[in-house]
Structure 1
Amino acid sequence: MKESPNIPARRIGSSAQNLEGNRLLTPRREPAVTPPKPFHWIVFLIICCLLGFLVFKTVVHLIRTDTGKARMVHAASPVETAPVRKQTLEEVIGGSGTVEQFNTVLLTTQITARVLEVPVKIGDVVKKGDLLVRWDDRLIQATLDANRQYVETSNIKIKNQTRQVERYLALAKQNMGTPLDLEKAEIGLADAREALAKATMGLREAEIALERVRMKAPIDGIVLERLVNPDETTHTDQTVMKIGAIDSVLMAAKVTEE
């Protein structure tokens, strides 16, 4: 058998302990702390001074304006003064009452027709000229067109009858016509003129009725009553709305004798 060479045995345990000891003995490198710069200290002191000044001014203001705070620090109580002046003292007496319009207007319709539109309601403030009620104007427009045609026809009849009378007068001067024919022609002319007068009157009435299909506010005021609704048929002299003037009002107060 071969003999193994004598190799000195190493102490493993002691080596590990030496390594740990070396680690403990090795100094740690910690980050260096930068000392604050002088400029930062100056800014900090300025901010502290400003805050202290604000606190001081606040305390002084409270002492000068609040009596309770002034007593707590044994300071003089704040007093508000005013210059003396002579004036008349008025006594105000309270009382209940109602405010009423100085003037009211009742609006009545002047045509018989069906209502198409009522754009206002109770409590609305209206201006002079605002639309209040609008009626159906188709029948009135048809009557207007018919009367206009009657006027044109009557004018044509008058021209024809005038020429007829002139012709019979010329024949009468020549002793060729009869007085009866002349009389009939004159009667026809008179009838044509009467028909023209009636047609003209009917045309004018239709024009006026057409102007009344739109009821507008006569004054600036407020709608107090609305007595008509769309699709209703109104008649002549029927009250449809009440408006109160708002430029002048009356106060009906109830004041006791005490």
Structure 2
Amino acid sequence: MAGQLGVDEKHQDGGGELARITTGDRVLDLASGVGDPAIAAAHRVGPTGRVIATDLAPDMVAFAAQRAAAAGLANVETHEMDAAAIDLPEAGVDAVLCRLGLMFVPDLDRVLAGVRTVLVPGGRFATAIPWRPTDQAMPRLVGAILAALDLPPLPPVAPGVAGIFSLADASYVCAALERAGLTEILVQPFTLAYDYHSPDEWLDFLLALNVPLRQHLAGVSDAALRDARHVAIAATTPWLRDDGHIRFTGHGYYATAVRPVG
């Protein structure tokens, strides 16, 4: 994904290390986006393994397929698939990954039930989720945009409502993993350095990723949005570096779990 540099190497492979992915494994990557976790997993499993990269967005799936082909990875399949409707055989994969995707699903229990179903007994699940929204630069930029438009703040984040920080409460995710029948649940924090080539690139990324913000801005005129954009660009000064890049550190956590044997 453009604009990201992983401080934690585990984040770069979508939690593949935490899911103990190894040679010959069959791996499902949910909400793969442009395919970073899937490609990293493909290198881990080698030619005897198999990685299935899925995403709800067809353009993401197509781009991930192009990247895997360009890397010469014949062990990567790509499919358009909703994480809440996993269309794979029961007990068909050794590991499931989901990097920065769970916070956008409306029904976490349904997704995790599907994860448990497709995992073999003893199979591993690893997910990466953003947290600590009050410490993040992105909510401050959102605030600048809304203030410029004289719009109220976004509603408080909550599970089941698509949003970057909707699963910031790790205890909620742990409880959902338990309800799904997964065990050996572990949570650990990570940091991630963001690097954007310009304030405009950062703003474009934010507007593309933040679905609630886009919905909140529905009906705002193009002229008003252009004016708000100028205000938002000016608000990026705290993170603007001498080379023109925007750099800041974000926070998240990994949650891992296992389908029990027996």
- TM-score above 0.5, yes or no: no
Q: Normalising to structure 2: TM-score of the pair?
A: 0.17
More helix by share: 1
More strand by share: 2
Compare relative contact order (CA 8 Å, sep 6+) and give the higher one, 1 or 2. Answer: 1
Larger Rg: 1
Q: Normalising to structure 1: TM-score of the pair?
A: 0.17
